[in-house]
């Protein structure tokens, strides 16, 4: 059973779907952002698992560690960049959310859409 | 109805992804394509080429130096965008509309935070300084410093916290982090090598390994402190706005 053997990958995919579900179904924007972060985490998990080696060791050459047994260092280096980008995206999104709340007093997406329509009907798109 | 459709869509996506996973090569096999192409060379040669025992640090700060440069740029763009969205913080003004009353929290919490924050910062210094021989490095250590400041701010409030890390200090460290990283990188170009590499044919055959290690540590410290200050600045910008929109009691 390949699927059971690749259980890391399978778990990452399920985590991704859970995050996507949160993004689509939840109405609160903060919860959507949490879902986005879950999706990002699942991608990081998937990448790190790709570099996994059976009975591998950390890629640090101390104490005569043999390179043949080391896990793949490139996904780890790439995901370090990915984490920083994810943090930046989250920070920017949260600051936008703060502005939205300040403007409309709600974080509910449906209500925000209704407010937007009302604003368009009354003020001609001017908010 | 919407809920059912989205559930169906996600179930279909999950089935598709799991089907792909089932046809991927077995996890952890040394003969995987991910482990056979460029990796053995990095693992074999990284120590002599980058003078760091930690191959990941070698990749981040040497082989993929431009990548890390972009990463530093991204986090500074994030800071610039957050400040553009939430409003810039002017010197002295931060004290203007933040109420100075202490955040209500018990003595136990305050004493514990006071006690534990120095140790967190000590740990982050360890993480940064040992980045080339152990797991860790600039970004991780910086995130830990940022975390300690976030704990401090939640317990003691923005006023106390912004007195500890004033705007002048933050601005100077943020700027010097990027500039330090860039300068060390360009030194490699001036010396006749590549960006952020330490083989400088125009100066000497090769730099002393100890000097290379110190340059690496310098870059790590710059990244760490700069990243930490960016995190703290983003946090301050968010809290400040939150206090401003809070209804006047």
pLDDT single digits (tens) B40-77: 777 777 777 767 777 787 787 777 778 888 888 888 88
Rounded to a whole number of angstroms, the distance from the CA of A70 to the nearest CA of chain B is 8
Helix, strand, coil shares of chain B, percent, nearest 5, are: 75, 0, 25
With pLDDT > 70 as the criterion, what percentage of chain A qualifies?
92
Query: How many domains does the structure of chain B reveal?
Result: 1
Is residue A100 within 8 A of residue A112, CB to CB? The reply is yes
Q: What is the ipTM of this complex?
A: 0.78
Residue B226 lies in a domain: yes
For residue A8, what is the nearest residue in chain B, using CA coordinates? B27
Q: Is residue B89 part of a domain?
A: yes
Q: Cα(B22)–Cα(A6) distance, rounded to whole angstroms?
A: 7
Where do we find the tokens 């074999």?
B44
Given 3.20.20.140, 1.10.287.3510, 3.40.47.10, 3.20.20.70, which CATH number is that of A2-54+69-123?
A: 1.10.287.3510
Mean pLDDT, residues A35-57: 88
B21 occurs within a structural domain: no
Q: What is the pLDDT of residues B113-133, one digit of tens each?
A: 889 999 999 998 888 887 767
Contact between chains at A6 and B21 (C-beta distance less than 8 A): yes
Counting one residue from A and one from B, how many pairs have CB atoms under 8 Å apart?
157
Write out the residue range of the structural domain in which residue B83 sits: 54-245
Q: Is the pTM of this model over 0.90?
A: no
Shortest Cα distance, chain B CAs vs residue A54, angstroms: 5
Q: What's the CA angle centered on A107, arms A106 and A112, to 5 degrees?
A: 75
In the block, residue with structure tokens 């004493």:
B111
């Amino acid at each position: 059973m390949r699927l059971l053997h690749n259980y890391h990958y399978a778990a990452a995919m399920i985590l991704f779907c859970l995050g996507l579900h949160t993004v689509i179904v939840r109405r609160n924007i903060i919860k959507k952002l949490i879902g986005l972060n879950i999706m990002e985490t699942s991608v990081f998990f998937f990448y790190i698992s790709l570099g996994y080696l059976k009975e591998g060791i950390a890629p640090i050459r101390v104490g005569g560690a043999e390179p043949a047994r080391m896990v793949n260092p490139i996904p780890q280096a790439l995901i370090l960049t990915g984490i920083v980008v994810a943090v930046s995206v989250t920070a920017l999104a949260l600051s936008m959310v703060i502005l939205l709340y300040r403007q409309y007093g709600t974080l509910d997406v449906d209500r925000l859409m209704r407010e937007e329509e009302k604003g368009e009907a009354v003020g001609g798109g001017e908010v | 109805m919407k809920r059912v459709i989205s559930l169906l869509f996600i179930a279909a996506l999950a089935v598709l992804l799991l089907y792909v996973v089932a046809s991927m090569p077995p996890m952890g096999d040394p003969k995987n394509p991910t482990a056979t192409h460029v990796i053995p060379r990095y693992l074999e040669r990284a120590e002599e080429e980058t003078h760091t025992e930690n191959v990941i640090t070698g990749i981040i700060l040497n082989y993929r130096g431009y990548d890390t440069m972009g990463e530093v740029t991204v986090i500074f763009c994030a800071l610039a965008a957050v400040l553009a969205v939430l409003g810039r913080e002017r010197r002295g003004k931060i004290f203007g509309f933040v109420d100075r009353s202490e955040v209500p929290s018990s003595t136990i919490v305050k004493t514990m935070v006071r006690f534990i924050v120095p140790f967190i910062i000590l740990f982050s210094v360890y993480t940064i300084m040992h980045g080339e021989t152990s797991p860790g490095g600039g970004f991780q250590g910086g995130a830990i410093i940022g975390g300690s400041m976030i704990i401090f701010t939640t317990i003691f409030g923005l006023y106390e916290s912004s007195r500890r890390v004033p705007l002048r200090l933050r601005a100077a460290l943020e700027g010097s982090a990027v500039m330090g990283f860039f300068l060390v990188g360009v030194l490699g170009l001036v010396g006749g090598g590549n960006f952020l590499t330490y083989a400088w044919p125009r100066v000497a055959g090769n730099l002393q390994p100890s000097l290379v290690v110190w340059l690496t540590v310098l870059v790590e410290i710059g990244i760490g402190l700069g990243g930490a200050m960016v995190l703290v600045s983003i946090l301050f910008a968010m809290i400040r706005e939150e206090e401003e929109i809070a209804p006047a009691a």
